[in-house]
């Protein structure tokens, strides 16, 4: 994008040059761009845009008047002149009602108005060419399992094609475990080792004469009509196409009718060969297509376009079994099996856990809730679920597990089959206080001997062992440890450790010199936020916790400011903060004096702060009221602070759903 070009009173031009020598690219050239004069309202260019929907982009020299009536002002020399137009700034997008191919004349009539209601003085006429969309086929969705109903529907999309070839390879049930050694359920490597083709036929897409095949259309292939699904088998369905099926215009090529005849089933010889190489896309070429040219790979008029990267495939498993598997750090596995059609739990499902060598390492059956637990004797690799003739498959290796990076999976780790938790009767202790610590032990996974000793150790903030206690009796798994610190013990964070059966559990113990407030303090501004232009005006009130008035006591109020996010309820999508500014503030004393006989004081201050703020601030106040003996009570209070009377926000485009990034 080139900006800051100035339109002058007469037409000017700018020359754009490029040279790829510095980047090692053998390409250079130049182009002259016209800049229209001020007041010269005209069409700059008209370009055909091909994609999911065809349209013509007509760009003008001035922004256009929104909501103006364009009926009859834009015409196309096609059989059907019905079009839909959309105005966007200085662009009009013209959408034909039918898919067009070929060259047509576009006429933009005078009378179209710019944003100042000035009409374009002259007609504009040019030739536009609509090209065919490249032939393509696409699978819809990304699932493998289809519930076992009367129909096995596989949806797909195709464009610029009269037909597609469908090849179905059956992966036999007794070979699925071998197939999953090198594939997940959606992959199709080394099919020749585990399956054979059962169907290869041509599917006609032009049976409906009213269907415009040059546009993207959705079709559905009912697999149950062309084959009988074997229970437990996985089917690889592949869609391919040939140049003869293409509707892309190439020098008036026509497609012989014989090319659309149904193909015979693939010969067995190709699959009985013990050659280690898998079949490739060359198997789908017509004779004479071996002359592949990489530079013609995107040209539908060349044989080189019709290669495997244009074809799609999908594995299909007809099953009602939905399986969830979880494994803990102790190696125990949990399975849940539900009916994909009704989501109801399925009981009595036979589960077999296999290792990588396809040997059974655990068996189980689901209970009435569809659950089952097993502990495999070796590392599991896959699961086979059986319900009559139906089968369900799931790989259990580490690489197939779902990522947990977006979930909070923190927590206590089970140590050697033991779970433990330490807690105290409060959160903070003073030096010299008694400490009543409790420890809860869960040893059901690895039972300890009766009266097994448990060690409790208390460490001071310097990491020195302060006290050790032993306990071998409990009440239903609750162990009590009673200890205390000396009155002159150091304050800070102490650590309690409980050791049992080779496992260690820890908890921090806070020893602090705590002096509670004896005065209640209230700093009231009377408003939900403060503006700099209005100053800081507040009422300070204090009274003793007993209810008596805190008369004539000395008080101080200090203020500091910190950056906050500027938001307004009606403009949640806008950013009002300046990311280029950094804000820092020091404490400032805004009041020092005595309360009156009713315990009140008025605060009036006009701080010089916020000129370099990125946006809204938080005003933080620390208020101290001193007792006659010198001790004081303290209160902290925060209120939004607006250093500006007005804000300007920018609404940025949203990024992608997963990371919030803007992709280009």
As a whole number of angstroms, the distance between CA 219 and CA 156 comes to 5
Cβ atoms 247, 320 nearer than 8 A: no
CATH code: domain 41-130 is 2.60.40.3710
Cβ atoms 476, 469 nearer than 8 A: no
What is the phi/psi pair of residue 285, to 5°?
A: -80, 150
| Domain extent listing, the chain | 41-130, 136-317, 321-400, 419-511, 519-642
- pLDDT tens per residue across span 1-24: 676 777 777 888 888 888 888 777
Domain 519-642 has CATH 2.60.40.1940: yes
Beta bridge partners of 146: 318
Give the pTM: 0.57
Q: Is the pLDDT of residue 349 over 90?
A: yes
Q: Is the alpha carbon torsion for 509, 513, 518, 520 positive or negative? A: negative
Cβ atoms 591, 557 nearer than 8 A: yes
Kindly indicate the confidence band of residue 57, based on its pLDDT and cuts at 50, 70 and 90.
Answer: very high
What is the phi/psi pair of residue 270, to 5°?
A: -60, -25
> Which element (helix H / strand E) includes 35?
strand 28-35
Q: Is the pLDDT of residue 395 over 90?
A: yes
Written in H, E and C, the secondary structure of 394-463 is EECCHHHCCCCCCCCCCCCCCECCEEEEEEECCCEECCCCEEEEEEEEECCCCCCCCCCCEEEEEECCCC
Lowest mean pLDDT, pick from 80-84, 242-246, 315-319? 80-84
Kindly indicate the confidence band of residue 251, based on its pLDDT and cuts at 50, 70 and 90.
Answer: low
Tokens of 83: 């079009």
Kindly indicate the confidence band of residue 460, based on its pLDDT and cuts at 50, 70 and 90.
Answer: very high
Q: Is the pLDDT of residue 126 over 80?
A: yes
- What mean pLDDT do residues 223-233 have? 85
As a whole number of angstroms, the distance between CA 341 and CA 367 comes to 19
Q: Could you give the percent of the chain with pLDDT greater than 70? A: 91
pLDDT at 297: 85
pLDDT at 252: 52
Cβ atoms 64, 89 nearer than 8 A: yes
Distance from CA of residue 20 to its chain's centroid? 38
- What mean pLDDT do residues 450-479 have? 92
pLDDT at 371: 95
Q: Is the pLDDT of residue 127 over 70?
A: yes
Cβ atoms 108, 74 nearer than 8 A: yes
- What mean pLDDT do residues 254-260 have? 46
Domain 419-511 has CATH 2.60.40.1930: yes
- What mean pLDDT do residues 339-360 have? 93
CATH code: domain 321-400 is 2.60.40
- pLDDT tens per residue across span 424-449: 988 889 899 999 999 999 888 788 88
pLDDT at 265: 42
Half-sphere exposure (Cβ direction) of 272: Cα atoms closer than 13 Å? 4
Kindly indicate the confidence band of residue 72, based on its pLDDT and cuts at 50, 70 and 90.
Answer: confident
pLDDT at 522: 94
Q: Is the pLDDT of residue 229 over 70?
A: yes
- What mean pLDDT do residues 368-386 have? 94
Average pLDDT over all residues of the chain: 86
- pLDDT tens per residue across span 270-310: 666 665 555 444 444 444 446 778 888 888 888 889 888 89
- Residue 460: which residues within 8 A CB-CB, separation 6 or more? 466, 489, 490, 492, 494
Distance from CA of residue 608 to its chain's centroid? 44
pLDDT at 277: 53
**Nearest CA to 452 among 477, 421, 435?**
477
């Amino acid at each position: 994008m080139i900006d800051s070009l100035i339109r002058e009173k007469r037409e000017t031009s700018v020359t754009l040059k490029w040279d790829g020598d510095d980047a090692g690219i053998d390409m250079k050239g130049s182009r002259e761009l016209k800049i229209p004069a001020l007041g010269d309202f005209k069409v700059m260019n008209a370009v055909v845009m091909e994609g999911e929907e065809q349209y013509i982009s007509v760009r003008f020299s001035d922004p256009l008047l929104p909501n103006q009536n364009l009926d009859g002002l834009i015409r196309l020399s096609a059989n059907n002149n019905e079009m839909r137009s959309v105005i966007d700034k200085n662009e009009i997008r013209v959408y034909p009602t039918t898919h067009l191919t070929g060259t047509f004349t576009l006429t933009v009539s005078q009378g179209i108005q710019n944003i100042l209601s000035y009409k374009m003085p002259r007609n504009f006429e040019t030739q536009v060419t609509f090209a065919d969309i490249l032939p393509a086929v696409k699978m819809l969705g990304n699932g493998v399992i289809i519930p076992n109903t009367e129909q096995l529907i596989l949806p797909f999309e195709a464009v610029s094609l009269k037909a597609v070839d469908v090849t179905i390879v059956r992966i036999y049930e007794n070979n699925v475990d071998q197939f999953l050694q090198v594939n997940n359920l959606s992959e199709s490597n080394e099919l020749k080792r585990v399956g054979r083709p059962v169907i290869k036929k041509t599917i006609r897409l032009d049976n409906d004469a009213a269907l415009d095949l040059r546009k993207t259309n959705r079709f559905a292939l009912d697999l149950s009509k062309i084959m009988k699904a074997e229970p437990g088998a996985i089917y690889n369905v592949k869609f391919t196409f040939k140049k003869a099926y293409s509707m892309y215009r190439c020098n008036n090529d026509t497609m012989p009718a014989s090319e659309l005849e149904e193909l015979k089933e693939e010969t067995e010889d190709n699959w009985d060969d013990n050659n280690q190489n898998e079949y490739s896309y060359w198997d789908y070429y017509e004779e004479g297509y071996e002359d592949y040219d990489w530079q013609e790979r995107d040209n539908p008029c060349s044989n080189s376009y019709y290669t495997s990267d244009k074809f799609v495939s999908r594995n299909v498993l007809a099953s009602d079994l939905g399986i969830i598997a979880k494994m803990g750090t102790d190696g125990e596995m949990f399975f849940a099996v539900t009916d994909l059609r009704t989501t109801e739990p399925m009981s009595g499902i036979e589960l077999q856990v296999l290792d990588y060598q396809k040997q059974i390492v655990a068996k189980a059956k689901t209970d009435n809730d569809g659950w089952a637990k097993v502990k495999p004797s070796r590392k599991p690799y896959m699961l086979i679920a059986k319900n009559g003739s139906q089968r369900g498959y799931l790989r259990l290796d580490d690489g197939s597990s779902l990522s947990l990076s977006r979930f909070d999976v923190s927590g206590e780790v089970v140590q050697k089959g033991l779970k433990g938790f330490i807690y105290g009767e409060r959160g903070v202790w003073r030096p010299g206080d008694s400490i009543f610590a409790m420890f809860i032990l869960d040893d059901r996974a690895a039972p300890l001997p009766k009266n097994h000793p448990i060690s409790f150790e208390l460490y001071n903030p310097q990491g020195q062992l302060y006290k050790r206690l032993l306990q071998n009796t409990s009440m239903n798994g609750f162990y009590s440890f009673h200890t205390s610190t000396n009155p002159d013990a150091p304050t800070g964070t102490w650590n309690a450790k409980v050791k049992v059966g080779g496992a260690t559990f820890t908890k921090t113990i806070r020893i602090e010199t705590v002096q509670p407030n004896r005065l209640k303090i209230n700093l009231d501004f009377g408003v939900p936020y403060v503006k700099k232009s209005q100053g800081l005006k507040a009422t300070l009130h204090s009274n003793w916790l007993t209810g008596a008035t805190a008369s004539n006591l000395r008080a101080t109020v200090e203020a500091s400011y910190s950056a906050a996010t500027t938001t307004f309820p009606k403009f949640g999508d806008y950013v009002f903060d300046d990311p280029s500014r950094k804000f820092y503030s020091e404490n400032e004393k805004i009041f020092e004096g005595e309360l009156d006989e009713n315990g009140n004081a008025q605060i009036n201050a006009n701080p010089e702060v916020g000129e370099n703020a990125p946006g809204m601030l938080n005003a933080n106040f620390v208020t101290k009221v001193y007792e006659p003996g010198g001790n004081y009570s303290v209160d902290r209070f925060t209120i939004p602070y607006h250093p500006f009377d007005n804000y300007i926000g920018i609404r940025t485009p949203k990024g992608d759903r997963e990371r919030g990034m803007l992709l280009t």
